[in-house]
Structure 1
Amino acid sequence: MLLKLLESPNCLLNRRNRYQFLTTLLINLICIAHGIGVGWLSPTLRKIQSVDSPLDFSLSISEISWVGSALGLGAVVGNILMGLLHSRLGSRLSLLFIAFPHSCLWILVYFAKSAEYLFIGRFLAGISSGSLYVVHPIFLSEISDSKIRGTFGSMVLLSVNVGVLLGYILGTHLAYHIIPFVVLLLPISYVISNLFFIRESPMHLIRKGKYSEAEKSFKYYKNIREDSQMSEMHEFEAMKEALTQSEKTLDRVTIKDFLTRPALKAYGSAAVLTFVSQCSGLLAMISYMSDIFAQSGSTMDPDTCTIVIGIVQILGTYTTTLLCDIWGRRILLIVSSAGVAVSLTVFGLFSYYAQSHDLSQWNWAPLLFMSLNIYLGNIGLTGCYFVVIVEIFPLKIRTKATSAALVVCGIFFFFILKVFPVCMDQWGVPLTMWSCAGISAFGFFYFMFYLKETKGKSMLED
């Protein structure tokens, strides 16, 4: 029974998939570190604004919005920077670059003397996150088999969410000045593992004409043994031939390549997917979760609720890794957007009636419906985003179009992080939640009637 399971092409421990799986785990160390940086902010903001603040300064609502949104602003820069450099540097050097701006975040956090330190640190961490959201999906799509590509792609968000939970816990229970020393172990381990265990993707090496190195890389990631390579190397030869033909003109992309029918269809799907995934508020809520619970009308401890949400978020993205290559991307996005719309609507209703009614016996309701919102949001709108955004674009413009889409995503991310605390302050929790619910409902109808399934699509196809 166990042997049959291990021989299944969908099993991550299948002989062919083992090094792909190991590589995915190693490069996701930086995703965990990034997630810690995201989750750490929520309980830390409450500490900084309390009478027992570990710092010598406090933050106004305006400064909070700038510190929170600096991550999105940096992500835009990271998207653009990596979009320009990735095809030249290759994935391996790009992966190494990601660790350095993120490490600067924790150095600035430790030495923070004003809000500007936190803003610059979050901005640099944003450069790292914007870069990894370009490099990781492309790199994983190039080294993994089509049957497990969705699982590996969704593990990026799973790793980020593990980090978010750790950030909630560390920010709540550890002293402010100890956390940087703990977290810096992750980018250091990430750099070491990349130097010794990660190889350049075979597709990039073929594009650069390094066929011998590409063959070695292909054998490594497919775990091909010498006694079986003749039968398994046909796939490499097919990849080499396809890329050699297409790459003759790939570096000379013209405006016409961006105006083909498949490209135009992809833009529409990418635009809606980006708009809904960001403006549904899912990622912004993670940064401000403690404040949301504090203003929701519930009397439960906000930091405890936030940690529970971190656990739920991991369960959501883990569900994505299980179902993404079984059910497909489209059905998960449909279920996700519908669930987010309903749960945020009910969360807003509780907060609205809590202003004028005694709902103490329903204290558990905000935690329940926010948990549903985060769980269902993570199985599709966030869990599948970076998988789908790579797969929908034609081969010839894939890298540039993905980078451009992620730049737009970063702009939306910055905008929503900037306005979300202001909306809660000016509009209140109910109207803010209902606005996000309406955007999610729009996404539900689009995914239901217009989105094309990309499950099982070859990365050599348009």
Structure 2
Amino acid sequence: MALLTTKYNNHCGWSFVFGSAIGYSSPVQSDLTNDLNLSVAEYSLFGSILTVGAMIGTAMSGRISDLIGRRGTMGFSEMFCSLGWLVICLSKVTICLDVGRFLVGYGMGILSFVVPVYIAEITPKDLRGCFTTVHQLMICLGVSITYLLGSFVGMMPCVVQMMGLIFIPESPRWLAKVGRWEEFEIVLQRLRGESADISYESSEIKEYTCRLSQISEDGIFDLFQEQYSKSLLLGVGLMVLQQFGGVNGIVFYASSIFVFAGVSSKIGMIAMVIVQIPMTTIGVILMDKSGRRPLLLISAAGTFIGCLLVALSFYLQNLAIIYIIVILRLIFRVTSYFSSLKLGLDGIPWVIMSEIFPIDIKGSAGSLVTVVSWVGSWIISFAFNFLMNWSPAGTTNFHSIFKWVTVIFVSKLVPETKSRTLEEIQSSINYVTL
């Protein structure tokens, strides 16, 4: 019961905040641009300033979560998200919109690290992947509801989550890290159920945590030791490839893609909403059945093909060949790209990030990897409109290169983590014995 309450609070709160924030800039692009007479550069700043705030929040998230715990960090971040949405709702000028979006981004940056880590640390190994990716489904719902109802939706889950944090436990692995062993036992028993036998799991966590504490401290320079090189490569590599594959550029400015193609942005957005929720649901169901690697490979290959097909549609549009057929094919191909993205590549890198780093460097390593993700997100979200003005087909071809590299990267380097404890995963990757 405690585990279900914890999951409900985190996913309904954080995921709606995240989804409403990243989805806000797309449906309001034309209205804000016209009402405030914004240039492409000014609107690109508004869309991308969210990621600037997220970069700063992310850089601080690991240290904050190690200092005050996972639960306290979530409450701290939600205060900034609530304040940011309040400023957005009340703003009448551009600068206030930018400030509000920056504050939301700061809170999101902290949450984007601490929530996947917290979920991975509290869930059983057979449910960890599914539970960690449920938030992608809730993000989809957040994007959809924000598109329909407006920005005030963003504040509601912030308030709900801050209230719900009172009832959820701290991460047992964080309690073990700071030496609060009695609380560790109580919380782990509560999460697994009063009748569950936690002796083996408790012993494994204790032994691994104690061994790690003798090897290194959680500092930024400790990340670059040889035993952590593979986990760092995996975490950073997946985030770089995810972002430069265009994921946030397309999410932030999806409506502009359809406008460039001469399609109603509303029709395009509705088509994307219809597709992404079922595909994300399928990904959640398959996560702990088929595993991370197969879903990542299928998702990366599907988005690669989708990018090429979208580029082809733009080429054909320029040639004015049977215009209506080209437009219909473009809508189908963009939604196919989104289907493949939501199946795995959108969420699995965050699952793997939460699994591969040992508790002694998790704060610093997780912050670094998440900063890399948000830096990539900022570059793509700021440059996306300029690239589309230059060449829509060229933009999608650019992203397709990174999708193909992702296929190779996953097939050669990414291990399967399904049905393995965090300690088993980290020991196999980082050369630290149990």
- TM-score, L = length of structure 2: 0.92
Q: How many residues align?
A: 423
Give matches, 1:27-46, under 5 Å.
27-28=10-11, 29-46=13-30
The residue that corresponds to 2:296 in the other structure is: 333
1:220-245, CA deviations, whole angstroms, 9 ceiling, x for partnerless residues? 11122xxx35x444432432343234
Residue in structure 2 matching 1:154, options 114, 130, 133: 133
1:313-337, CA deviations, whole angstroms, 9 ceiling, x for partnerless residues? 2223222211111111111111111
**Pair 330,39 (structure 1): closer, same or farther in 2 beyond 3 Å:** same
Question: Given the alignment of the two structures, is residue 90 of structure 1 paired with residue 90 of structure 2, yes or no?
Answer: no
**Pair 189,222 (structure 1): closer, same or farther in 2 beyond 3 Å:** same
Question: Given the alignment of the two structures, is residue 187 of structure 1 paired with residue 150 of structure 2, yes or no?
Answer: no
Structure 1 residue 460: Cα displacement: 1.9
In the alignment, structure 2 segments of 5+ residues that lack a partner are 427-434
1:153-202, CA deviations, whole angstroms, 9 ceiling, x for partnerless residues? 1112222121111122224xxxxxxx42x43222111111112x211111
CA distance in 1 between counterparts of 2:222 and 2:97 reads: 43
Structure 1 residue 355: Cα displacement: 2.1
The residue that corresponds to 1:406 in the other structure is: 370
Q: Which letter maps to 2:20?
A: I
CA distance in 2 between counterparts of 1:233 and 1:145 reads: 14
CA distance in 2 between counterparts of 1:268 and 1:185 reads: 37
Contact preservation (8 Å) 2:85, 2:101: no
Structure 1 residue 295: Cα displacement: 0.5
**Pair 394,365 (structure 1): closer, same or farther in 2 beyond 3 Å:** same
RMSD (CA atoms): 1.9
The residue that corresponds to 2:232 in the other structure is: 267
CA distance in 1 between counterparts of 2:288 and 2:66 reads: 28
CA distance in 2 between counterparts of 1:393 and 1:375 reads: 29
- The structure carrying a bigger helix percent of its residues is 2
Question: Given the alignment of the two structures, is residue 353 of structure 1 paired with residue 324 of structure 2, yes or no?
Answer: no
The residue that corresponds to 1:313 in the other structure is: 276
Contact preservation (8 Å) 1:63, 1:115: no
Contact preservation (8 Å) 2:133, 2:347: yes
**Pair 250,205 (structure 1): closer, same or farther in 2 beyond 3 Å:** farther
**Secondary structure of 1:184's aligned partner:** helix
CA distance in 1 between counterparts of 2:237 and 2:123 reads: 27
The residue that corresponds to 1:20 in the other structure is: 3
CA distance in 1 between counterparts of 2:204 and 2:265 reads: 55
CA distance in 1 between counterparts of 2:333 and 2:403 reads: 15
The residue that corresponds to 1:210 in the other structure is: 180
The residue that corresponds to 1:437 in the other structure is: 400
**Secondary structure of 1:325's aligned partner:** helix
The residue that corresponds to 2:84 in the other structure is: 105
Question: Given the alignment of the two structures, is residue 291 of structure 1 paired with residue 288 of structure 2, yes or no?
Answer: no
CA distance in 1 between counterparts of 2:348 and 2:318 reads: 36
* Percent of aligned pairs with the same amino acid: 25
CA distance in 2 between counterparts of 1:148 and 1:332 reads: 16
CA distance in 2 between counterparts of 1:59 and 1:440 reads: 32
In the alignment, structure 1 segments of 5+ residues that lack a partner are 1-17, 172-178
Residue in structure 2 matching 1:367, options 331, 338, 360: 331
Structure 1 residue 420: Cα displacement: 0.6
The residue that corresponds to 1:385 in the other structure is: 349
1:323-379, CA deviations, whole angstroms, 9 ceiling, x for partnerless residues? 111111111111111111111111111122212314213432122111111111122
Contact preservation (8 Å) 1:40, 1:170: no
Question: Given the alignment of the two structures, is residue 416 of structure 1 paired with residue 386 of structure 2, yes or no?
Answer: no
